[in-house]
Structure 1
């Protein structure tokens, strides 16, 4: 049996509390199954917390304190871990950004926005500013920097296998001036080629298909069950219920079948980038027939 890999408690605040949770649990002589009992949380969730990969929610911290007799220790400290993990991300996305670093595969459906892992700083800045018009420049730049850091996972020794499916409208909608859009599309092509990722486009001529609503991310892990993340404008939800995760993954497979091939998708992005570079994008839009 391989030796157990203990978390590095010095790495960050979540890792510290994860290591402390494991220490206190083992000191109490409890297994993960015994600690999870009565918490409405699964063993994989607790295991990820012990490894510093997910923050401890308030309801679970209270359960753990009661089960381990830790006198409110974890309830008092779970807010510290939450702030440390947020690091420029929306609170509801903080766990997801951390989990991306440990994922074996990441599969995204993006009907409205280019996925964060493929964004350029100008695009991220425009999106953040549109969603938060009253934010200060410092707040905007903090979020842009956090989004750019996420892409560093592609530099890891064993980066996750990445698969993205985008709606065609994302490459047609001028979220930036033409030059910025050309740079964004060329950046997407560069990331896909450099990381040997897979990208598909669902054409605007496509009929009804699975996943017509909402951004979705599916992540699998080498040592934990898969999860699904769904997001709307000001909220997001992690789903780990196995039956529901299975349904989402089946829908994603159906979406793959409805999308263009990788070759056709990349050719479409390349052509769109050239149109933006040559100032032909708006001319093509004006010549498109109205529905």
Structure 2
């Protein structure tokens, strides 16, 4: 069975999507439609912009989404199962037919703006912790004064924590004391997948509730529960929870393999997810589209 996986924020690079735009009439049409929907020429920033311009959340999220979804459409993929890392879940939901291209892009744009606002409300950040068991990371976070939680379960021995700036800093010191190989702050705008995103979650929830979701052609393994979901109502519910809940990527990939996935194809910019899948299961076939 073929699993298709879609990357999240951080996979962007200058020039992303340009080749697609130039070589495919379908891709060009969809990129131009996206420019109209967003009200600015995101293609100019994707193809010619600086790394700094691309790093703006309101640009990054739609850019990564567009690269992934348009690539998937030009490849005409027929997945047996899909999953996306954080933002990538929206790309996955367009690829399996749960969301239309237009609705997916509108939600991603609203998500980016809501997260940007939440980031500006309080100093918050994220940090990567390497070389500790998940349980130890969770215990260290629980013992810290202030808001800090496990946010991304990326692969065994690689977990990202998220929360208030001072609490994350304290947690990094405590992680090193507990034996972490590294615990380092990440260059991000705020504390994604933590309680600090509650204002953004509320804002996005209203937009998700107002959007039509279809019955998908194949299951999506959602970040929040790391399990197969095929009901439009359940997909909505889990998507609303996603902003303040952890990304259970390790658990999602393990479950997909249990359920019969024999190969994982990463669709979108970069090769981060195939790298993580290889660390979760060395035997599984991985492909970068």
Identify whether the pair has TM-score above 0.5, normalized to the shorter chain: no
Query: Which is richer in strand?
Result: 2
* Structure with greater contact order relative to length (CA < 8 Å, sep ≥ 6): 2
Provide TM-score, normalisation by structure 1.
Answer: 0.26
Q: Whose Rg is larger?
A: 1
Provide TM-score, normalisation by structure 2.
Answer: 0.27
